[in-house]
């Protein structure tokens, strides 16, 4: 069942904010969150001053300390929980130029955990990964790469955003370009397979003495690429913008002698940097051993400053706790905020917390997780819990209508949105829900990209989301009824077979060996 929460109103609108009741706590929260918001100040420090928060980096550790100090300054109990280690990485200056057949600065990103160029410029010919007949021919090509930069990704025929092309071009043009791209990607995957696949290709180039590896992971938008981690450990791996990669590829493919010069400062290691979850707490006054958890991951990729993945979630839950401390300092149940480490590495921090704190899992009333960027919350599903919809609807019906009029509630829900920290609760049978914002533009332009920066945050929405999270925590804390853990029947998967409840992966407490 999907319902719009405007239908859940339990009283006529009162005042401009459309309060549905005379709940003094809700009104204090609204005033604190909407009129005295600290989201801009907090976000500016996290994104601009601290910056990227790659697991194992100094940026992540600085963010951990800043969160702890911020909570302490508000009088909120906080702890840094060490759950393991990760490999360190520190990036310095990175720039790349095309030096022949002409000079041009290129837009470049060094991939996470890539080595640098040992303090000096590294220059060499740029060559495109060729089509080879078989693995023997692939081995022959590898003997020619020493001292060269190898372009290892499929080029894009066009770097325009698809929705703009579809709006302005002829349908036949759109279809021709789509077919061309599909065929190019298919052919290139087959090309890489003759080297053992993309991961093995990178390592074989490293062993063959290539100067560096050049990639393209375009995100289907103007000037935006996904920026992940390197496979090679001894030679630098960089990602070029769609436009610049296409330029170098065309020069190489037409035998016009492109040369690249890369300067990249990077320190890989130490091998075991301590990793933390930051956990803030308002202790319950009546039911201290029952829990509400507000959840967001703190780490990010290093291609930008992680503003919407997941700086906005981090600030949302930080600000929610500030609102709770001001308006509801003695909750009925214990309220925790978890800022998780290494979510981008596979939900590592939240999975460790759930393993290390079985008492929280056993006595969890609800966890609310947020992890998909700016825009106001618009969708909550009950994640397959058959009877949780009653609690969710009851909590939401207490909130002002301008907090909920955009939210769809899906009960019991298809449980089809895994891949974030709510899954660490869900796989243990505990009610973990997502406070979801709009996905399409986020996925295209900011999710894991080089454009995920402060300027993309919509603070009106972030202010509302933080206030919403605080109000939901309050309503869940006061609810006389525990959330039922009865499981509904999940819909069939793509193969038509019934889906089973997700299982929990093993906890990873260190960077995996190669």
The predicted-structure confidence for 465-486, as pLDDT tens digits, reads as follows 999 999 999 999 999 999 999 9
Q: Give the single-character DSSP code of 236.
A: -
- Which string of b and e fits 258-286 if b means at least 16 CB within 10 Å? bbbbbbbebebeeeebebbbbbbbbebee
The model's confidence at residue 15, banded by pLDDT at 50, 70 and 90, is very low
Arithmetic mean of pLDDT, 268-292? 97
* Full set of structural domains in the chain with CATH: 2-88+272-478 (3.40.630.10), 90-266 (3.50.30.30)
DSSP 145-187: -BT-EEE-SPPPS--S-HHHHHHHS-HHHHHHHHHHHHHHHHH
Task: Summarize pLDDT for 368-426 with one digit per residue, the tens.
Answer: 999 998 899 999 999 999 999 999 999 999 999 999 999 999 999 999 878 999 999 99
Residue-level pLDDT at 495: 86
Q: Flag whether pLDDT at 166 surpasses 80.
A: yes
Contact 296, 446 (CB under 8 A): no
Q: Flag whether pLDDT at 14 surpasses 60.
A: no
Q: Flag whether pLDDT at 103 surpasses 70.
A: yes
Task: Summarize pLDDT for 299-329 with one digit per residue, the tens.
Answer: 999 999 999 999 999 999 999 999 999 999 9
Q: Report, in angstroms and rounded to the nearest whole number, the Rg of the chain calculated over CA atoms.
A: 25
**304 is written with which tokens?**
């930008």
- CA 128 to chain centroid, in Å, comes to 31
Arithmetic mean of pLDDT, 274-297? 98
Question: What do you get for the CA distance between the two ends of the chain, in Å?
Answer: 46
Residues 6+ apart with CB under 8 A from 358: none
> Which residue from 117, 93, 121 is spatially nearest to 235, judged by alpha carbons?
117
The model's confidence at residue 9, banded by pLDDT at 50, 70 and 90, is very low
Rounded to whole angstroms, how far apart are CA atoms 323 and 469? 10
Give all strands of the β-sheet with 364-369 in edge-to-edge order: 77-86, 273-282, 333-340, 287-297, 364-369, 432-434
Arithmetic mean of pLDDT, 413-440? 94
- Which string of b and e fits 94-115 if b means at least 16 CB within 10 Å? bebbbbeeeeeebbbbbbbbbb
């Amino acid at each position: 069942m999907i319902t719009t929460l405007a239908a859940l109103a339990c009283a006529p609108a009162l005042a401009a904010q459309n309060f549905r009741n005379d709940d003094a706590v809700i009104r204090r929260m609204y005033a604190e969150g909407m009129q005295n918001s600290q989201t801009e100040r907090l976000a500016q420090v996290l994104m601009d001053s601290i910056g990227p928060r790659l697991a194992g980096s100094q940026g992540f550790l600085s963010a951990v300390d800043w969160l702890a100090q911020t909570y302490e300054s508000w009088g909120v109990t906080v702890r840094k929980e060490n759950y393991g280690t990760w490999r360190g990485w520190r990036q310095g200056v990175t720039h790349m130029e095309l030096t022949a057949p002409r000079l041009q600065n290129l837009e470049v990103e060094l991939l996470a955990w890539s080595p640098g160029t040992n303090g000096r410029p590294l220059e060499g010919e740029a060559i495109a990964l060729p089509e080879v007949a078989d693995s023997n021919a692939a081995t022959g090509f590898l003997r020619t790469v020493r001292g060269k930069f190898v372009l290892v990704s499929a080029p894009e025929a066009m770097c325009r955003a698809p929705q703009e092309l579809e709006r302005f071009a002829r349908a036949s043009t759109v279809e021709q370009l789509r077919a061309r791209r599909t065929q190019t990607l298919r052919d290139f995957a087959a090309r890489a397979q003759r080297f053992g696949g993309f991961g093995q290709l990178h390592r074989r180039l490293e062993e063959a003495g290539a100067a560096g590896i050049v990639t393209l992971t375009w995100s289907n938008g103007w000037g935006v690429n996904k920026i992940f981690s390197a496979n090679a450990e001894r030679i630098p791996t960089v990602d070029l913008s769609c436009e610049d990669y296409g330029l170098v590829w065309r020069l190489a493919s037409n035998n016009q002698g492109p040369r690249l010069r890369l300067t990249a400062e990077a320190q890989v290691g130490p091998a075991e940097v301590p990793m933390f979850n930051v956990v803030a707490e308002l202790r319950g006054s009546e039911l201290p051993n029952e829990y509400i958890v507000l959840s967001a991951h703190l780490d990010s990729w290093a291609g930008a400053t992680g503003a919407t993945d997941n700086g906005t979630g981090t600030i949302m839950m930080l600000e929610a706790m500030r609102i709770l401390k001001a308006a509801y300092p003695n909750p009925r149940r214990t309220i925790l905020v978890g800022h998780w480490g290494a979510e981008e590495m596979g939900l590592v921090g939240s999975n460790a917390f759930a393993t290390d704190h079985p008492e929280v899992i056993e006595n969890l009333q609800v966890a609310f997780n947020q992890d998909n960027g700016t825009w106001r919350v618009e969708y909550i599903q009950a994640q397959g819990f058959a009877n949780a919809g009653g609690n969710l609807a009851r909590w939401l019906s207490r909130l002002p209508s301008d907090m909920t009029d955009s939210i769809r509630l899906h009960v019991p829900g298809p449980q089809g949105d895994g891949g974030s920290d709510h899954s660490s609760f869900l796989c243990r049978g505990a009610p973990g829900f997502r406070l979801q914002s709009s996905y399409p533009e986020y996925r295209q332009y900011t999710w894991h990209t080089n454009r995920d920066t402060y300027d993309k945050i919509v603070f009106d929405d972030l202010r509302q989301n933080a206030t919403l999270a605080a109000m939901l925590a309050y309503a869940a804390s006061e609810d006389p009824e525990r959330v039922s853990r009865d499981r509904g029947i999940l819909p069939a998967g793509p193969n038509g077979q019934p889906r089973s409840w997700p299982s929990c992966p093993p906890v990873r407490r260190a960077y995996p060996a190669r």
